[in-house]
């Protein structure tokens, strides 16, 4: 039975996309910057590390703006 106790990285992907959904209405440039800033400000390093690893593995499931934002953060 689905219990919603999804473990990362699924949960992190879900969270990142949710952040993306808020910023997307602001248009591409603002959205990518906003998402990146939000993740930088609020995610603990181990969460960021995990999402970077996921990005390196292809970033499946991350929506386009979110993918771009995370890539920009990783630099």
65 in contact with another protein (CB under 8 A): no
- The candidate with the shortest Cα–Cα distance to 16, out of 31, 29, 33, 35, is 35
Q: Which of residues 30-59 bind another protein (CB under 8 A)?
A: 38, 41-47
Whether omega before 9 lies within 30 degrees of 0, making that bond cis, reads yes
29 in contact with another protein (CB under 8 A): no
Q: Is 48:39 a contact under the CB 8 Å cutoff?
A: yes
Residue of 1, 57, 58, 75 interacting with another protein (CB under 8 A): 1
Nearer to another protein by Cβ, of 50 and 71: the residue is 50
Q: Is 33:70 a contact under the CB 8 Å cutoff?
A: no
**Site of interaction with another protein (CB under 8 A):** 1-8, 11, 15, 18-19, 21-22, 24-26, 38, 41-47
């Amino acid at each position: 039975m689905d219990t919603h106790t999804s473990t990362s990285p699924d949960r992190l992907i879900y969270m990142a996309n949710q952040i993306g959904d808020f910023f997307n209405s602001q248009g591409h440039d603002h959205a990518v910057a906003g998402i990146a800033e939000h993740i930088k400000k609020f995610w603990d390093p181990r969460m960021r590390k995990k999402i970077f690893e996921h990005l390196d593995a292809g970033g499946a499931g991350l929506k386009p703006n979110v993918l771009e934002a995370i890539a920009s953060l990783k630099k």
